[in-house]
Structure 1
Amino acid sequence: MAAGAAPAKPVAIVDIGSNSVRLVAYERLSRSPTPIFNEKVLCGLGRGVATTGLLGADAMDRALAALRNFKVLCRNLGVGELRVLATAAARDARNGSAFLDAASAALGADIELIGGPREAELSALGVSSGFHGADGVVGDMGGGSLELVDVRGATVGRGVSLPLGGLALLDASRGSPKRAARIARDALLKAQPIRVLEGRTFYAVGGTWRALAKLHMRARNYPLNVMHGYAMPAAEALGLGPLAERIDADDLAALAAVASARRPLLAYGAAVLEEVVRLGRPREVVISASGVREGLLFEALDRGTRAEDPLFAAAREINDRHARDPGHGPDLCAWTDRFYAAAGLPETADETRLRHAACLMADIAWRAHPDHRGDHALSAIANGAFSGVDHPGRAFLALTVAYRHGGEVEAGVGLRALLTPGRLERARLLGAVLRVAYLVSAAMGGVLPRTALRCSKARVTLALPADFADLASERCVGRLRQIAKLVGREAEVTVG
């Protein structure tokens, strides 16, 4: 931001969907948008539309009350730009136009009524925004419809919209999940995106599928409570229907994680997902928390910003906001580049981007008490509101920065299960390298370029200039020996 320029105002999106009406405000428009406020009301606008053709009076009253509430919230948040979208229920109902007029008056803003193909396009752009190199088919299941669209990186195919939303199926099947599965199968057989899904990823968007994934997480005792990027082998997705039925009957604790208004739709969401898997034969099902709203923000960015890596964008922002000296993060990237090259440690492109992201996030916990910095860093990164990284990558980042603060962290025991033994050793090594770097640089930029961490066949050498000689303390040498042990060398410090 230029000197003297006013800070960017929040941007907000209101999504008037068939099941929920939601307001999400973001700190600003960026490649890695951070939500600062998120509020939803489950109004059920789409309930009954498939059979009566009308929005229910009670549902409209709840939605209008929510929109009046959102108007005040946007004013209190200082929102600079507000976009409002309405989807399947409002476009399919005969009284949808009258409702939108009332909704626009309640919110004090224009409302864009989007068609099925446009909704599919925005969902796909949301997935492109939230995943690094997305490749598969996006399925966005709302209350009134299911949108399907092929996505390859930032290239989005032609989407289709099917009347397979949870509320629509509840009505059309007359309350029978088995009948709903047959309806879904008949519709999906004609959907072009299903034909290009085999062996690829199915990106599941929508609250009903997120709720099913929560139940799957609980059944697995999964160690990371982050929905975005949660991956299920396709075969396990076929068991979500029985899982939902079993938990609905037996496990009230699990149901506490799912909104009561959404519970009746779980069986219909499972029925559709199971038919997608049977017909499309994807390799895996991955949950995306990025959908239409994030797609709308992504579309508003310039081409250069859209091309940025979302993980790097988030890591740079963490570095700029939380590091003692933001110049130190890029120094760490270059310093570790030279060491890894000298040590002959092979890296894939993804391993390099994770190492660089860890360097940029490494000073996230310095304001915490020294006894708790490792735990603080691990929690902040493992549960951070950023995207562009899968769950094993998120675990690698969290554990690396925790190790940089002093070794094993009890809270990270579960996360270690998400990493291969080789990736876990890489996290320990990078954490050890960062421990030496911070001791030498005191977290200040411009210091590390005057030093070097070298590696030969026999030794790991920390090379210091003459005026840094007194930095070769017992503690520094001890940390250097940790690195040497991990790579099977001896440790030494040279000066001058």
Structure 2
Amino acid sequence: MVLVERSEAQGRLKIGRPVAIIDIGSNSVRLVAYEGVSRAPTPIYNEKVLCGLGRHVATTGKLDEDAVERALRALARFRVLCDTMDVSDIYVLATAAARDASNGPAFLEAAERACGCSIELLSGAREAQFSAYGVVSGFYRPDGVVGDMGGGSLELVDVKGNQVGEGVTMRLGGLALQDLSGGSTKKAQKIVRSSLERAAGQLESLQGRTFYAVGGTWRALARLHQAVTDYPLHVMHNYIVDPRDSMDFLHLIEEADAKTLKDIESVSEARRPLLAYGAILLEEIIRLGAPREIAISALGVREGLLYDKLDDEKRQFDPLLRAAGDLNLLRSRSPRHGVELWEWTSRFIDSVGLPETEYEQRLRHAGCLLADIGWRAHPDYRGEQSLNLIAYGAFVGLDHPGRAYLALSIFFRHEGLSPDKVGSRIVALAGPRLMERARLLAAMMRVAYPVSVAMEGVLPQTPLVARGRSVVLQLPGHRADLANERLVGRVKALAKLLNMEPVIEIL
């Protein structure tokens, strides 16, 4: 597979090949191919096989033969898929099951033959580091403790910004707990409480901060929590759960028959028996660590490996703005126009003297880069398609209210500023302040596009500024004929939002 994108600086086509990571975990063996090694890695293919390599390792000390055969077949298939995609580099990682089993070395030899690649067997400390790097990669300035619950182990490690602390690994994965407890949730609770004593340092530092939950079992719990609460946005990454409101839900998961749970069909049958152990572990972490919030992460060891391969300069990039910039390059009529739109709106915001937090400024920047990504759709559906593309896109470094803001901004840009044109649930998710900011950004865009026609070089010549109580759009003489009824109406709509007067000034 050859991927094509335009150069941001010169507008040329740039050709690259994808990279792939194969993660041999205790519960699943997964292949994920990405566009490349980037600050905002975008998956282009994702496939997993639930092999259960770690099942019974805690009690027998060996990998199950049937699980090994399933894993080897999966690895052979993944090799063919990588060849088909013309992957440039394949990184293969193995974690707790292969690390802890006495027949792990023999399995890894066979696995290397099956996939045709060397395999890195991660130590517990290295696995914890990669898990933390995944959270650093996926969240904007994270501050808290990462907990990566796999099938065989749990890794806990402190993160603050791009700084990663020393991690601890414990045999508290879902399969390991199921095995060691003999299927008894009460016994599993005792095992968890005893084992977490080793993580006293990480849990003490968690108080009042964020717990970043990594791993398929916790993502499955979050999916069920969204169903129970009728949450409007079915996106896992950066889904926030209030620990104080989640205890009853976790008790329900521990005690109920999984078959009776709402939306249980969205969880694979192989993972359903592990939900109770994920709930037990999360409940105990909440009890001991007292986090302010729980944030679900869709990024973990694999993305952490990619982050580890970035140089220091690229690590400093904002993942949201990088992802928005990539979409701008790939889908906008004139990518440079998105950059000019950001500068043009910034000048106007400054001239109005409108207070804007760093968070809001960052969202507006991303919104300007995403403003034109829906232009290829039919005009009647550009707003709706842009909203869905942004609300459900694979963005990182972005919380759910921010997603709603970005989606609403571009929707209103195409469909007009009336809140009645969009569903109330996404409006509620944004909240009143971001909702009004989305309308304001859309109003500025609705002035910009009839002037610039989405082409670069025009907005710097046609500034929008506030002067006294007036919103003033300045047009040079050779563009005076742009001032038709449509443009006048757009300037009036923007001025009305700010309780100001509209002016179009010919220079």
Fold similarity call, TM over 0.5: yes
Note the residue ranges of structure 1 that are not aligned, 5 or more in a row. none
Deviation of residue 117 (structure 1)?
0.7
Question: For 2:362, which of 344, 353, 371 is the aligned residue?
Answer: 353
Partners of 1:86 and 1:186 lie apart in 2 by 27
* Change over 3 Å in CA distance of 1:5–1:184 after alignment to 2: same
- Cα deviation code 1:25-70 (max 9, x no counterpart): 0011111111000000000000000111111111111101100110
Q: Is 1:139 aligned to residue 139 of structure 2?
A: no
- Cα deviation code 1:3-41 (max 9, x no counterpart): 999722110000000000000000111111110000000
SS of residue in 2 equivalent to 1:161: strand
- Cα deviation code 1:314-365 (max 9, x no counterpart): 1111111111011101110110011101111101111111101100000010
Q: Is 1:84 aligned to residue 92 of structure 2?
A: yes
After superposition, residues 112-123 of structure 1 pair within 5 angstroms as: 112-123=120-131
Instruction: Name the counterpart of 1:250.
Output: 260
Q: Is 1:178 aligned to residue 186 of structure 2?
A: yes
* Change over 3 Å in CA distance of 1:6–1:323 after alignment to 2: closer
Instruction: Name the counterpart of 1:428.
Output: 439
Residues 189, 279 of structure 1: 8 Å contact kept: no
Deviation of residue 411 (structure 1)?
5.4
Partners of 2:107 and 2:245 lie apart in 1 by 41
Deviation of residue 473 (structure 1)?
0.9
Q: Which runs of 4+ in 1 moved over 6 A?
A: 2-6
Question: For 1:42, which of 38, 45, 50 is the aligned residue?
Answer: 50
Deviation of residue 124 (structure 1)?
0.3
Instruction: Name the counterpart of 1:393.
Output: 402
Partners of 2:351 and 2:234 lie apart in 1 by 38
Instruction: Name the counterpart of 1:461.
Output: 472
After superposition, residues 54-93 of structure 1 pair within 5 angstroms as: 54-93=62-101
The Cα RMSD (Å) is 1.5
Deviation of residue 441 (structure 1)?
0.4
The normalised TM-score by structure 1 is 0.97
Instruction: Name the counterpart of 2:427.
Output: 416
Partners of 1:5 and 1:101 lie apart in 2 by 41
Partners of 2:421 and 2:440 lie apart in 1 by 18
Instruction: Name the counterpart of 1:266.
Output: 275
After superposition, residues 443-482 of structure 1 pair within 5 angstroms as: 443-482=454-493
Range with bigger deviation, 400-409 or 239-248: 239-248
Question: For 2:330, which of 321, 346, 350 is the aligned residue?
Answer: 321
* Change over 3 Å in CA distance of 1:247–1:283 after alignment to 2: farther
Residues 149, 156 of structure 1: 8 Å contact kept: yes
After superposition, residues 267-286 of structure 1 pair within 5 angstroms as: 267-286=276-295
The normalised TM-score by structure 2 is 0.95
Deviation of residue 481 (structure 1)?
1.0
Instruction: Name the counterpart of 1:299.
Output: 308
Partners of 1:247 and 1:383 lie apart in 2 by 31
After superposition, residues 130-169 of structure 1 pair within 5 angstroms as: 130-169=138-177
SS of residue in 2 equivalent to 1:363: coil
Deviation of residue 419 (structure 1)?
2.0
Instruction: Name the counterpart of 2:3.
Output: none
Partners of 1:223 and 1:95 lie apart in 2 by 46
Q: Is 1:97 aligned to residue 108 of structure 2?
A: no
Q: Is 1:374 aligned to residue 383 of structure 2?
A: yes
Q: Is 1:441 aligned to residue 449 of structure 2?
A: no
Instruction: Name the counterpart of 2:245.
Output: 236
Range with bigger deviation, 63-72 or 178-187: 178-187
* Change over 3 Å in CA distance of 1:305–1:475 after alignment to 2: same
Residues 75, 115 of structure 2: 8 Å contact kept: yes
The AA in structure 2 aligned to 1:486 is: L
SS of residue in 2 equivalent to 1:327: helix
SS of residue in 1 equivalent to 2:141: coil
Identity in percent: 57
Partners of 2:21 and 2:259 lie apart in 1 by 37
Deviation of residue 283 (structure 1)?
0.3
Deviation of residue 181 (structure 1)?
1.6
Residues 155, 169 of structure 2: 8 Å contact kept: yes
SS of residue in 1 equivalent to 2:87: coil
Residues 258, 273 of structure 2: 8 Å contact kept: no
Range with bigger deviation, 405-414 or 198-207: 405-414
Partners of 2:248 and 2:11 lie apart in 1 by 56
Residues 415, 421 of structure 2: 8 Å contact kept: no
The AA in structure 1 aligned to 2:384 is: D
Partners of 2:256 and 2:366 lie apart in 1 by 41
Deviation of residue 177 (structure 1)?
1.5
Partners of 2:113 and 2:276 lie apart in 1 by 36
Partners of 2:441 and 2:241 lie apart in 1 by 29
Note the residue ranges of structure 2 that are not aligned, 5 or more in a row. 1-6
The AA in structure 1 aligned to 2:260 is: D
Residues 403, 409 of structure 1: 8 Å contact kept: no
Residues 464, 471 of structure 2: 8 Å contact kept: yes
Residues 40, 396 of structure 2: 8 Å contact kept: yes
Range with bigger deviation, 455-464 or 468-477: 455-464
Partners of 2:336 and 2:11 lie apart in 1 by 18
* Change over 3 Å in CA distance of 1:437–1:3 after alignment to 2: closer
Residues 56, 62 of structure 2: 8 Å contact kept: yes
Deviation of residue 246 (structure 1)?
4.2
Partners of 1:96 and 1:79 lie apart in 2 by 27
Instruction: Name the counterpart of 1:110.
Output: 118
Q: Is 1:383 aligned to residue 403 of structure 2?
A: no
SS of residue in 2 equivalent to 1:224: coil
Instruction: Name the counterpart of 1:16.
Output: 24
